Amino acid sequence: MAIRKIHGYPVLILGAGRGGAALLEMFIEDEHVEVLGIVDPDEEAPGIQLAIARNIPAYGNVSQALPVCKEYPDCIVYNLTHDDAVAEEVSRALDNKKVTSGLEAKLFWQIVTDLKRIKTELENSQNQLNAIIRHAMDGIVTISESGEIEGFNPAAEEIFGYAQEEVAGKPVTLLLSPDLLAQYRAELQRYLESSHHGSAGIRGQEVVAIRKNGEQFPMELSASEMKIKEQCFFVAIVRDVTERKLIERKIKHLAHHDHLTGLPNRSLFLDQLEHAIKLAKRRQQKTAVLFLDLDGFKQINDTLGHDAGDELLKEVAIRLKTVIRESDVAARMGGDEFTFVLNDIGTHENAAAVAEKIIETLSEKFNLKGHESQIGGSIGIAIHPNDAVDHEALLRKADEAMYVAKKSGKNTYRFCLPVEE
Domain identity same for 204 and 274: no
Q: What angle do CA 26, 27, 33 make, to 5 degrees?
A: 155
Which portions of the chain are predicted below pLDDT 50?
A: 1-3, 199, 419-421
Whether 126 maps to a domain, the answer reads no
The closest alpha carbon to 240, from 160, 175, 166, 152, belongs to: 160
Model pLDDT, residue 421: 41
Q: Phi then psi for 12, rounded to 5 degrees?
A: -120, 135
What does the pLDDT read at residue 236? 84
**Which one of 116, 151, 180 terminates a domain?**
116
pLDDT at 87: 75
Question: Which positions are annotated as active-site residues?
Answer: 336
Nearest residue to 381 (alpha-carbon basis) of 396, 394, 398, 393: 398
Which pLDDT value is given to residue 231? 75
Q: Are residues 282 and 394 in the same domain?
A: yes
CATH number of domain containing 327: 3.30.70.270
Instruction: Work out how many domains the chain is built from and give that number.
Output: 3
CATH number of the domain at 14, please. Answer: 3.40.50.720
In a domain, 158, yes or no: yes
Among 58, 81, 116, the domain-final residue is 116
Evaluate whether residue 131 is within a structural domain: no
Q: Are 239 and 264 in a shared domain?
A: no
What pLDDT was estimated at residue 1?
42
User: How many residues are recorded in the chain?
Assistant: 421
Contact assessment for residue 314 and residue 260, using Cβ atoms and an 8 Å cutoff: yes
86 in the same domain as 43: yes
| pLDDT attached to residue 223 | 79
Q: Note whether 48 and 158 are same-domain residues.
A: no
Question: Is 280 found in the same domain as 151?
Answer: no
* Structural domain of 15: 9-116
How many Cβ atoms from other residues are within 10 Å of residue 262's Cβ? 14
Judgement on whether residues 222 and 141 belong to the same structural domain of the protein = yes
Residue 112 has a pLDDT of 65
- pTM for the whole structure: 0.54
Per-residue confidence (pLDDT) for residue 89, from 0 to 100: 78
